[in-house]
Amino acid sequence: MRCCSPPRPAWVPTCSSSTRSRRSTGPARAAGTGAWDWPPWRSRSRSRQRGSTIPAMLLPDAVCPHSTASPRLGPRAAGDEVHRRCCRGQPRELLPASCPGMAVPLGEPERGRAGRAGQGRTERGSAGQDGMVQGGAGPWDHRIIKVGKDPQGHRVQPAPTTTITPNPEQGAWLNNKGAWLSGNGRGLTEGGWLIGGGPTPRPRRVPLTSRAGNGGSGPRPLHGADRCGAQRGGACSALLCPRGWGGGGLATAPRGSPSPPPPARRGVPPPGPRVPRCPLHAPCPPVSPTSPVSPYPPYPRPPCPPISPHIPPPPQTPCPRGAAPPHLTPPPPPGVLPLSQAWGRAPRLPPSPLPAQRRAFSNNKILVELDESAGVATMKFKSPPVNSLSLDFLTEFCISLEKLENDRACRGVILTSAVPKIFSSGLDITEMCGKSTEHYAEFWRAVQEMWLRLYSSNMVTVAAVNGSSPAGGCLIALTCDYRIMAENPKFSIGLNEAQLGIVAPFWFKDTFVNVVGHRVAESSLQLGSLHPAPEAHRIGLVDELVPEEKLKDRATAVMQQWLALPGKGGTSWAVTECRNGDLTCVGGPGIEAGSCVSVGTGGVGGWEVGKLSKAVRAALGCEGCAWHTAGRSAGCAGRLPPAQLAVPALLSRAGGA
């Protein structure tokens, strides 16, 4: 959650010209240069309009407009190379039959996939001769029109003209012989050849660089209620499963975790219903169709504890992460939209009365510990020697944050380092030279993604800076709501790009300006200064200094202070209406209808702006649409029909005052 919006370039359309003209920072200057125009996918279309040239390395892959993977992207022409590439990057079952990417013969090598994902599945002997899939009559109906033998001489099954139909209720696919196909469709192919129903594939390691929209071929997360494995009694394969259980087998299972269930025999329904359910969890609730499909592979999830089939689960065991008891979440007044609906997510829970429960998710480079009783997670960077922000690191970062974002038990995140003396050394320099254009694009997009996700998070974010933090490391700290630094003068922080002979991107700069102000930012950026901790505190770059040994406790205390603010427990709501780019309160508990909601730097705890913007975007169904805040008013851009929005009462009280 932020006190002000992430800096946006001037091309961002606004519904109110007045709000636009009040922008204080000036990405417009950068927008004209092309080099750092933002975001890059808009850069491409704009460059076409302007006829300017944008460096190819800045152009990311697009996401198929037919898919729901990313709402950020505008439509692209069918047949466009980018379109085709991204189509292949998406799970086929998520694409409508009309998508040109669906007409790709499975027997044909799909360039750009095998190398990336390392699946080794695209080498073909007689490419394109057999095994053609065509879109069927309906978007989910695909017909195998030709089959034959695979390169090893095995007969390809099933028989010709097999219709494959998804079974939304079961979250799996059936062919016309009633045989089960792989839940994620990968059982359809073997060595690139169609074989029809097959065993549910074992979890495969997903290269972190294989991400949606990039043409990667790693298994993709399935999303939506109809895909949730937990509904079949098995593990939840949806990354955004609100319960956070399962794992979907899409990423490498943590060491020591139990093996996945044995694969079903061909033609035999998968043993989903026989898998015992976690006694603490009901089937996953349906996921809102407006929820975005994550572009990331799911975070490895802890497995459900083993359950003896002879011991029935206690019937009255309350789900620690299920719906809060009624007395903790009073129903909103009539006509008031719960915030969870407006945001398309479940409301966060107040601190649990149950005994403290901790969960830890450790990945390669980031350790995440969630204290469910406090609703606070700690993300510890553990990528020695210096926690440089490599593509893998950034990807893990986004996955971890997204997972926490969708965990109703988590309301705040503390970012810190497990590497002594270093918070983060910034962007991994080795990722920025000697690599391919595609790699640069992917890397740079990951940097932006990290920043956007952190900046627009609706969790409280606190940086506990326990070491040096140059450049990109400083950006992470700047992007948090609050910065506490160890008071060691040997630790320094700042945007030192100038010392490296490069220029901090304008959105680095704007984030910096938001925190320290124009003049300090100007001189600091010009000199590429790295400020020792005491100086950083003096110029406002960090909010407070504490002895290193007290850093954790202090961060926890600050977090509690923030979480104690009203509106955080998800219990009080107000309804606002968006008119002419301003938000007008139309009623709510203790809030007079018609009072103007004006938020921003002058508002109470202006950090609600970020939350507001999120609500605006979600309620308008345009998560990716441009939005804008400036001065003392908040507005949003893009399609702005009058919409009833729910925002925390704190926000509305601030505006109504």
Q: Which residues are catalytic?
A: 427, 472, 496-497
| C-beta closer to ligand L6WJOLX4: residue 249 or 505 | 505
HSE of 239, CA atoms in CB hemisphere, 13 A = 24
Q: Which is nearer to ligand L6WJOLX4, 505 or 600 (CB)?
A: 505
- Per the CB < 8 A criterion, the answer to whether 439 and 431 are in contact is yes
Q: Which is nearer to ligand L6WJOLX4, 121 or 509 (CB)?
A: 509
Single out the segment in contact with ligand L6WJOLX4 by CB under 6 A; choices: 1-9, 333-341, 409-417, 420-428.
420-428
The minimum distance between CB 320 and ligand L6WJOLX4, in angstroms, equals 39
Our CB check for ligand L6WJOLX4 shows the closer of 99 and 476 to be 476
Element (H, E) at 413: strand 412-417
Q: Which of 65, 101, 297, 472 binds ligand L6WJOLX4 (CB under 6 A)?
A: 472
SS3 40: helix
- Long-range CB contacts (within 8 A, 24+) of 10-13: 11/37, 11/42, 11/46, 12/626, 12/627, 12/628, 12/637, 13/626, 13/637, 13/638
CB 620 within 8 A of CB 586: no
Q: Which is nearer to ligand L6WJOLX4, 178 or 501 (CB)?
A: 501
Residues 636, 610: Cα–Cα separation, whole Å: 11
Start-to-end Cα distance in the chain: 21
Q: Which amino acid is at 652?
A: S
CB of 481 to ligand L6WJOLX4, least distance (A): 21
Would you count residue 30 as binding ligand L6WJOLX4 (CB under 6 A)? no
C-beta of 244 vs 472, nearer to ligand L6WJOLX4: 472
| Adjacent-strand bridge partners of 422 | 468
Which residues, numbered 380-409, are part of the site for ligand L6WJOLX4 (CB under 6 A)?
Answer: 385-386, 388
Q: Which of 470, 603, 605, 635 binds ligand L6WJOLX4 (CB under 6 A)?
A: 470
In the complex, least distance from residue 418 CB atom to ligand L6WJOLX4, rounded to whole angstroms:
15
How is the beta sheet containing 142-146 ordered, strand by strand? 132-135, 142-146, 162-167, 172-175, 180-181
Q: Is 500 in the site for ligand L6WJOLX4 (CB under 6 A)?
A: yes
**Per-residue contact string for residues 338-377; x = within reach of ligand L6WJOLX4 by CB under 6 A:** ----------------------------------------
Element (H, E) at 116: helix 114-117
Binds ligand L6WJOLX4 (CB under 6 A): choice among 497, 548, 582, 623: 497
Is residue 218 at the binding interface for ligand L6WJOLX4, with CB under 6 A as the rule? Answer: no
- Decide: 222 and 237 in contact? Cβ < 8 Å: yes
Beta bridge partners of 646: 575
Cβ contact 479:454 at 8 Å: yes
Residues 561 and 373 sit within 8 Å (Cβ to Cβ): no
Residue 285 in tokens: 């609730």
Task: Kindly report the three-state secondary structure assignment for every residue of 360-389.
Answer: EEECCCEEEEEECCCCEEEEEECCCCCCCE
When the beta carbons of 184 and 425 are compared against ligand L6WJOLX4, the nearer one is: 425
Give the total of residues touching ligand L6WJOLX4 (CB under 6 A). Answer: 22
381, 390 Cβ separation under 8 angstroms: no
Contact predicate 302/204, CB 8 Å:
no
Spatial separation of the C-alpha atoms in residues 339 and 296, rounded to whole Å: 25
Q: Is 7 in the site for ligand L6WJOLX4 (CB under 6 A)?
A: no
Question: Site residues for ligand L6WJOLX4, window 261-300 (CB under 6 A)?
Answer: none
Q: Does residue 494 bind ligand L6WJOLX4 (CB under 6 A)?
A: no
CA 243 to chain centroid: 16
Residue from 73, 471, 616, 646 binding ligand L6WJOLX4 (CB under 6 A):
471
Which residues, 427 to 446, sit near ligand L6WJOLX4 by CB under 6 A?
427-430, 432-433
- Residue number with the smallest Cβ distance to ligand L6WJOLX4: 426
Residues 70, 64: Cα–Cα separation, whole Å: 8
Q: CB of residue 473 vs ligand L6WJOLX4: minimum separation in angstroms?
A: 7
Site for ligand L6WJOLX4 in 505-564 (CB under 6 A): 505
496 counts as binding ligand L6WJOLX4 under rule CB under 6 A: yes
Nearest CA to 463 out of 407, 389, 381 is that of 381
Whole-number minimum distance, CB 24 to ligand L6WJOLX4, in Å? 22
Q: Which is nearer to ligand L6WJOLX4, 468 or 571 (CB)?
A: 468
Closest contact distance (angstroms) between CB of 499 and ligand L6WJOLX4 is 7
Query: How many angstroms from the chain centroid is the CA of residue 370?
Result: 18
Instruction: Closer to ligand L6WJOLX4 by CB, 328 or 503: give it.
Output: 503
Based on CB atoms, which residue is closest to ligand L6WJOLX4, 372 or 396?
396
Partners of 450 in the β-ladder: none
Q: Minimum CB separation from ligand L6WJOLX4 for residue 442, in Å? A: 12
Output the six-digit token pair for 295. Answer: 């572009």
What whole-number distance in Å separates Cα of residue 128 and Cα of residue 192? 10
Work out how close the CB of 111 gets to ligand L6WJOLX4 at its nearest, in angstroms, rounded to a whole number. Answer: 25
Angstrom CA distances, 240 to 204, 215, 243, 559, stand at 19, 22, 8, 25
Which residue of 62, 99, 504, 521 would you call a contact of ligand L6WJOLX4, by CB under 6 A? Answer: 504
- Least Å from the CB of residue 93 to ligand L6WJOLX4: 36
Give the start-end residues of each E strand in 499-602. 531-532, 544-546, 573-579, 582-587, 596-597
DSSP label at residue 419: S
List residues bridging with 470 in a β-sheet: 494
Cβ-Cβ contacts under 8 Å for 529 (sequence gap 6 or more): 494, 496, 523
Is 164 within 8 Å of 177 (Cβ atoms)?
Answer: no
Query: Shortest gap between Cβ of 532 and ligand L6WJOLX4 (angstroms)?
Result: 12
Rounded to a whole number of angstroms, the minimum distance from the CB of residue 628 to ligand L6WJOLX4 is 25
Q: How many CB atoms lie within 10 A of CB 564?
A: 10
625: helix, coil or strand?
coil
Q: What is the smallest separation between the CB atom of 40 and ligand L6WJOLX4, expressed in angstroms?
A: 11
Nearer to ligand L6WJOLX4, 304 or 447 (CB): 447
Q: Which span (138-146, 322-330, 464-472, 476-484) binds ligand L6WJOLX4, by CB under 6 A? A: 464-472
User: By CB under 6 A, which span of 201-209, 346-354, 494-502, 646-654 interacts with ligand L6WJOLX4?
Assistant: 494-502
Nearest to 3 by CA among 483, 560, 604: 604
Query: Which contiguous run of DSSP H or E holds residue 387?
Result: none
In the bound state with ligand L6WJOLX4, the residue whose beta carbon lies nearer, of 94 and 504, is 504
Residue 468 binds ligand L6WJOLX4 (CB under 6 A): yes
Binding site for ligand L6WJOLX4 (CB under 6 A): 385-386, 388, 422, 425-430, 432-433, 468, 470-472, 496-497, 500, 502, 504-505
